[in-house]
């Protein structure tokens, strides 16, 4: 016969079953609360009366998005992209030149920076990610130096160190509209990276970052996945860079 259970004593037969959806609901509520906070932040003190502080919010959100893109390579495949800022700049110059030289709408030019950054990132990864160590990181750094030299020396096209004056997305001088543009881009990047890292691609990235030989023995092609990872990181960096010339309120 079953023994009686004393008061306060745990019994498997009397324990309440765990609710599988409880954790998901808590995470969803926390996510919605954080999103509501970020949306309301520019309207709360002291940001509601200080445009300079809202400007800092724009910069902080942009840097946070760039950090996520950088971490896709550094955190998952253990490749530190020392030329990351160059890919951001490549997207920025592409967007600015399309607007200034060709009269393309800034809203369209914002997405144009993805293409050249992805192409240069793919070429850099294809040439360097077959090898190990700091080779890929150093070559990415050299690519950044080369792109900086091109931007400075093609004065007729880029105006050199003077830079390009690009029309803004909004007529208003307030920084709040630009904050929401960058916030939406950050959320989109977060969703893309979350889906990617939770997929089979993300599993392959983690395997390569932890033990490349074990990943290869498991049937994973390290070069293919490393190049894919590096290209996606550079493409997203180019998209963020392409938003910079048109989201800078005076």
DSSP 215: H
**Complete DSSP assignment for 75-138:** TTS----TTHHHHHHHHHHHHHHHHHHH---HHHHHHHTHHHHHHHHHHHHHHHTTS-TTHHHH
The answer to whether residues 237 and 91 touch, using CB atoms and an 8 Å cutoff, is yes
Tokens of 62: 């942009």
| Mean pLDDT, the chain, whole residue set | 85
How would residue 175 be classed by pLDDT, with cut points 50, 70 and 90? Answer: confident
- What pLDDT is recorded for position 229? 95
User: What is the per-residue pLDDT across 104-154, written as a single tens digit (0 to 9) for each?
Assistant: 888 898 899 999 999 999 999 998 888 776 777 788 888 889 988 888 888
How would residue 250 be classed by pLDDT, with cut points 50, 70 and 90? Answer: very low
- What pLDDT is recorded for position 103? 87
pTM, two decimals, is 0.84
Q: Is the pLDDT of residue 9 over 60?
A: no
User: What is the per-residue pLDDT across 221-232, written as a single tens digit (0 to 9) for each?
Assistant: 999 999 999 999
- What pLDDT is recorded for position 159? 84
The whole-angstrom distance between residue 8's C-alpha and the CA centroid of its chain comes to 50
**Complete DSSP assignment for 41-92:** GGGSTTGGG-HHHHHHHHHHHHHHHHHHHHHHHHTTS----TTHHHHHHHHH
Q: Is the pLDDT of residue 164 over 90?
A: no
User: What is the per-residue pLDDT across 15-70, written as a single tens digit (0 to 9) for each?
Assistant: 455 555 666 678 778 878 888 888 888 888 888 888 889 999 999 999 999 999 99
Question: What's the sign of the alpha-carbon dihedral 117, 122, 125, 128?
Answer: negative
């Amino acid at each position: 016969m079953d023994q009686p259970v004393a008061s306060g004593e745990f019994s498997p037969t009397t324990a309440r079953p765990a609710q599988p959806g409880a954790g998901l609901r808590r995470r969803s509520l926390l996510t919605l609360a954080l999103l509501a906070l970020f949306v309301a932040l520019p309207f709360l003190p002291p940001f509601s009366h200080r445009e300079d502080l809202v400007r800092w919010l724009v910069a902080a959100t942009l840097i946070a998005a760039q950090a996520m893109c950088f971490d896709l390579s550094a955190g998952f495949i253990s490749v530190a992209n020392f030329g990351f800022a160059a890919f951001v700049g490549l997207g920025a110059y592409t967007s600015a030149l399309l607007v200034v030289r060709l009269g393309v709408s800034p809203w369209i030019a914002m997405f144009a920076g993805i293409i050249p950054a992805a192409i240069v990132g793919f070429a850099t990864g294809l040439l360097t990610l077959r090898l190990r160590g700091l080779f890929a990181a150093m070559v990415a750094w050299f690519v950044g130096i080369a792109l900086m030299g091109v931007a400075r020396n093609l004065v007729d096209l880029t105006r050199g160190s003077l830079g390009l004056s690009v029309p803004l997305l909004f007529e208003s001088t307030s920084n709040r509209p630009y904050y929401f543009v960058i916030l939406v881009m950050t959320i989109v990047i977060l969703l893309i990276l979350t889906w990617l890292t939770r997929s089979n691609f993300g599993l392959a990235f983690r395997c390569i970052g932890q033990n490349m030989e074990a990943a290869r023995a498991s049937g994973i092609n390290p070069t293919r996945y490393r190049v894919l990872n590096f290209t996606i990181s550079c493409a997203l960096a180019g998209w963020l860079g392409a938003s910079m010339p048109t989201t800078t309120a005076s």
